[in-house]
Amino acid sequence: MYLVGKINVISALPDKFKRLNDIAYNLWWSWNPEAIDLYREIDLELWEKVGKNPVRFLQEVSQKKLQAKLEEQAYMDRLDTVVADFDKYMTEKDTWYSRNYPERTGKSIAYFSAEYGLNEVLPIYSGGLGVLSGDHCKSASDLGLPFTAIGLFYKQGYFSQRINIHGWQETCFNNLNISQLPVLPAFDASGRQAEISITFAGRTVFAKVWRVQIGRINLYLMDTDVAQNSPSDRALTSRLYGGDQETRIQQEIFLGIGGIRVLDALGIHPSVYHMNEGHSSFMGLELIRKLINERHLTFKEALQIVSASAVFTTHTPVPAGNDTFPLYMMDKYFGDFWGQLGISRYDFLELGLKKPEDQNFNMTVLALTLAGRKNGVSELHGAVSRDIFSDVWPEVPKSDVPITHITNGIHTLTWLSPKIKELYDKYLEPGWKNSIYDSAAFKGVDLIPDEELWNTHLELKQKLISFVRDRMKAQKLANGESMEAVRHVDSFLDPDALTIGFARRFATYKRANLIFRNLARIQNILNNPGKPVQVIFAGKAHPADGPAHEVIKNINDIAKQEGFYGKVILLENYNMTVARNLVQGVDVWMNNPRRPLEASGTSGQKVCINGIINFSILDGWWCEGYNGENGWVIGDETEFDNETSQDNIDSESIYDMLEQKIVPLFYKVNEKGIPVEWIAMMKNSIKSLAWNYSTDRMVKEYAERMYLPAMEGSEKLLNDNCSAARSLSYFKEHLKNNWAQVQLMAEKNENELKDYKSNSGQELYLTVNAQFGAIDPSSVEVEVYYGIFENGSITSPRSARMDCVEKLGDSLYKYSLNLKIEDGGEYAYTFRATPRHPDLINRFDTGLIRWVM
């Protein structure tokens, strides 16, 4: 058959339904169930068929179904209400940000991320990093931040996962049809779709720009599938984390350098640039290049401004999560770039080397070098990051390495079950949704009757079980299993049984199959008469991660064994749809990574808002969230050198907690069949965790601790023809060139520590002499550095500034301090000098430090 052409017929919407189209192209609908209901109620079967995609739904819905709804007054009234809510949200001027920082509403923030998990209809995410990025954007919109997001448009997205009949993961890619997605062209000032280009490796590659509306903010995505490009370049942005290192470095050049050019093309001039993970680190180099060209600055002067305006968040303590490129590849793609920066190849490569002898350029190190403000994503992860990257600041104590932390959260309304939301609307204070970041918003949880909360939870659990059965049937049919096996799925999972959920990326350090370390013991737990337990797993392994594929295979094989069949479920193609059903419907959420390799772990934060209880290793966010009454812990805070020992001890802890605590509590019910003590823990989980682990709290913290100081700092350095930037650059260079002259000299005993005796709270007079050479004393901070004396070194360190009390000679000064230590114990102390300047973001960023001789 010879095809002449194709005709795309799109349903014409009656005038009264045209606002549904406006809402369909704004992902605001994805966290407003009342909006979603408007589409699904027109034609539920079509809504499910099109993957709950409102854009495609409106293109295919029948005119008869639309006409029928036009005549339904109750529906039309709800349509008017949702449209009014949408318009109010979009035009609202009285937001958290505008109320608190009205003088900063004219400044803006640019956010760069390699992936965005906004909704399953736009699958340009792989896992937690992308979902965090999406949730960050949604809360930025809710709080009213002047925020623009930058990313890449992956037309094949991340892979879809099949688990074949033998239990092996298979990957497949499908092209997205952009005409059916909530994606629009991004127009430049001339009214044409914005387009940018980058020249690298001897060729010029073009990209057009698309716009995704996320409430009040926009996400701009670059797409190299344009006619000017070669076939290989057209496919450059087709897959997330696809291809080899060549593909990866080209994608990251587009994300970082191209992202800055997108902002320029659209006339957006941010004051703050946030790099979410190291993939976008080249962004800082492009900003420096622009400043050199436009402001006629030197590299080091431009670096001060970029450092003041750049924020960097690292998300992984796992080496594989930090992109590195061999130096020959940097030569290939940046051989003509360092000349534009006015620096040598050596100086350029040094920006991304963890150690001088390294042979790989590290994108995380580049981000740490360029950004003035840096953070991990939980308190423990901040400490781990300071340890991992201490080589970047070799003289600085690990506790002072300039990486802080802001603990991750989740976008509450995205992950909150509509049924639980109805309870919150009924029992919490009106307007609770506008103050999710405030603990007071959830005080009313205690007012929810136990029976009402439990029955709502059971309804969601039954919904989950139906969802799982439907997917398992489709999975078995696709694998060619018998109809008898398909029908048997209806007996899978008991609605009355304790149900545990485990879903995340199947990286090996997350130990998805840890619960099966002792098969006989877990089989007894699952099949305990009258107190059964069942476990639902879901997760993808990276296509190149062979050991993770083995984990999937192992769980699949166990799920088929007697005693596990129908009680252990492994769902394929983990995505946001699967995640949403799981985090709303299980009883317990289990997380057992190998401590301390979980940076944050947001899946457990998604469950607590739905009244589900966490059972987790004390890693990531759970170290901060656990209070002894809002969940359970696996193991303790011990970190092991031997992985086998750690796995053995942690798996035994899982069995002990299930047998002795979790299972008995779940099945302890009153005369009405209500587990009163279990529900008390559900409520404690909600009250203690829901507000603090929301992205509303997180984004508010980013604004207060990172974005606003960056706005003020970069503005100061740019004023008066960048005079402050030039001055700061000179200051750093002067200190670097003369720092060898700085010396600290203290009186001490020969070959042994001075030994003072002091009562707690008693002042101890300490002195040190400082020689500064050519450096002005006002440019140096002198401190006593002290802490508990343990194993020959200082632990739990603290520092206290010393005052200059006397000039002893030419550039020689005496400093003193009355040190008071309140708590008893054995302490040690020393002295140190560090740079001091009002425009330094963090004095340890310079790496300059001098300890007493």
Sign of CA dihedral 578, 581, 583, 589: negative
Dihedral over alpha carbons 231, 232, 237, 243 (to 10 degrees): 150
pLDDT band at 493 (very low <50, low <70, confident <90, very high): very high
pLDDT band at 318 (very low <50, low <70, confident <90, very high): confident
Residue 411 has pLDDT above 70, yes or no: yes
Q: What mean pLDDT do residues 509-514 have? A: 95
Question: Peptide bond before 356: cis, by omega within 30 degrees of 0?
Answer: no
Extents of the domains making up the chain? 15-91, 96-163+171-408+700-722, 429-693, 742-851
Q: What mean pLDDT do residues 8-34 have? A: 90
Convert the pLDDT of each residue in 798-842 to its tens digit: 999 999 999 999 999 999 999 999 888 899 999 999 999 999 999
Spatial distance between the Cα atoms of 89 and 663, rounded to a whole number of angstroms? 44
pLDDT of 4 reads: 78
Amino acid occupying residue 772: F
CA distances from 326 to 334, 353, 727 (A): 12, 11, 35
Are the folds of 96-163+171-408+700-722 and 429-693 the same?
yes
In this prediction, what percent of the chain has a pLDDT beyond 70? Answer: 98
Convert the pLDDT of each residue in 190-201 to its tens digit: 999 999 999 998
Q: Where do the DSSP E strands lie in 7-71? A: none
Spatial distance between the Cα atoms of 317 and 595, rounded to a whole number of angstroms? 10
Total residue count of the chain as it appears in this document: 853
DSSP of 635-693: S-S---S-HHHHHHHHHHHHHHHIIIIIHHHHT---TTS--HHHHHHHHHHHHHHTTTT
pLDDT band at 15 (very low <50, low <70, confident <90, very high): confident
- In three-state form (DSSP H/G/I as H, E/B as E, the rest C), the secondary structure along 512-549 is CCHHHCCHHHHHHHHCCCCCCEEEEEECCCCCCCHHHH
pLDDT of 758 reads: 78
pLDDT band at 751 (very low <50, low <70, confident <90, very high): low
Contact of 78 with 38, CB cutoff 8 Å: yes
> Coil, strand, or helix at residue 213?
strand
pLDDT of 184 reads: 97
pLDDT band at 413 (very low <50, low <70, confident <90, very high): very high
Note the CATH number of domain 96-163+171-408+700-722.
Answer: 3.40.50.2000
pLDDT of 9 reads: 67
Residue 752 has pLDDT above 80, yes or no: no
pLDDT of 749 reads: 61
Convert the pLDDT of each residue in 621-659 to its tens digit: 999 999 999 999 999 888 888 999 999 999 999 999 999
Q: What mean pLDDT do residues 314-321 have? A: 79
Amino acid occupying residue 353: L
β partners of residue 326: 360
Residue 319 has pLDDT above 70, yes or no: no
Spatial distance between the Cα atoms of 276 and 333, rounded to a whole number of angstroms? 22
pLDDT of 1 reads: 63
DSSP of 45-56: HHHHHTTS-HHH
- In three-state form (DSSP H/G/I as H, E/B as E, the rest C), the secondary structure along 462-507 is HHHHHHHHHHHHHHHHHCCCCHHHHHHHHHCCCCCCEEEEEECCCC
Contact of 156 with 209, CB cutoff 8 Å: no
β partners of residue 163: 169
CA distances from 615 to 7, 77, 491, 583, 704 (A): 54, 44, 27, 13, 32
- In three-state form (DSSP H/G/I as H, E/B as E, the rest C), the secondary structure along 257-270 is HHHHHHHHHCCCCC
Contact of 264 with 293, CB cutoff 8 Å: no
Spatial distance between the Cα atoms of 502 and 568, rounded to a whole number of angstroms? 11
pLDDT of 174 reads: 87
Centre a 10 Å sphere on the Cβ of residue 754 and count the other Cβ atoms it contains: 11
Convert the pLDDT of each residue in 579-613 to its tens digit: 999 999 999 999 999 999 999 999 999 999 999 99
Convert the pLDDT of each residue in 82-132 to its tens digit: 999 999 999 999 999 999 999 998 999 999 999 999 999 999 999 899 999
Contact of 154 with 124, CB cutoff 8 Å: yes
Convert the pLDDT of each residue in 427-445 to its tens digit: 999 999 999 999 999 999 9
Convert the pLDDT of each residue in 27-51 to its tens digit: 999 999 999 999 999 999 999 999 9
Q: Which DSSP state fits 706? A: I
Tokens of 203: 């060729």
DSSP of 402-468: S-EE----B-HHHHS-HHHHHHHHHHSPTTGGGGTTSGGGGGGGGGS-HHHHHHHHHHHHHHHHHHH
Contact of 567 with 532, CB cutoff 8 Å: yes
pLDDT of 753 reads: 64
Q: What DSSP element (H or E) covers 591? A: strand 588-591
CATH superfamily of 429-693: Glycogen Phosphorylase B; (3.40.50.2000)
Q: Comparing C-alpha atoms, which of 485, 552, 540, 543 is closest to residue 516?
A: 552
Amino acid occupying residue 574: Y
pLDDT band at 346 (very low <50, low <70, confident <90, very high): very high
> Coil, strand, or helix at residue 109?
strand
Q: Could you tell me the pTM of the whole model?
A: 0.95
Centre a 10 Å sphere on the Cβ of residue 101 and count the other Cβ atoms it contains: 18
Spatial distance between the Cα atoms of 595 and 456, rounded to a whole number of angstroms? 35
Spatial distance between the Cα atoms of 569 and 565, rounded to a whole number of angstroms? 8
Domain 742-851 classification at class level: mainly beta
Residues with Cβ within 8 Å of residue 790, at least 6 apart in sequence:
none
Tokens of 836: 């001091």
Q: To the nearest whole number, what is the mean pLDDT of the chain? A: 95
Classify burial at 789, counting beta carbons within 10 Å of its beta carbon; exposed 0-12, middle 13-18, buried 19 or more: middle
Contact of 53 with 121, CB cutoff 8 Å: yes
> Coil, strand, or helix at residue 65?
helix
Tokens of 245: 């290192």
Contact of 849 with 395, CB cutoff 8 Å: yes
Spatial distance between the Cα atoms of 452 and 49, rounded to a whole number of angstroms? 33
CA distances from 504 to 45, 384, 511 (A): 29, 21, 10
Amino acid occupying residue 432: W
pLDDT of 373 reads: 98
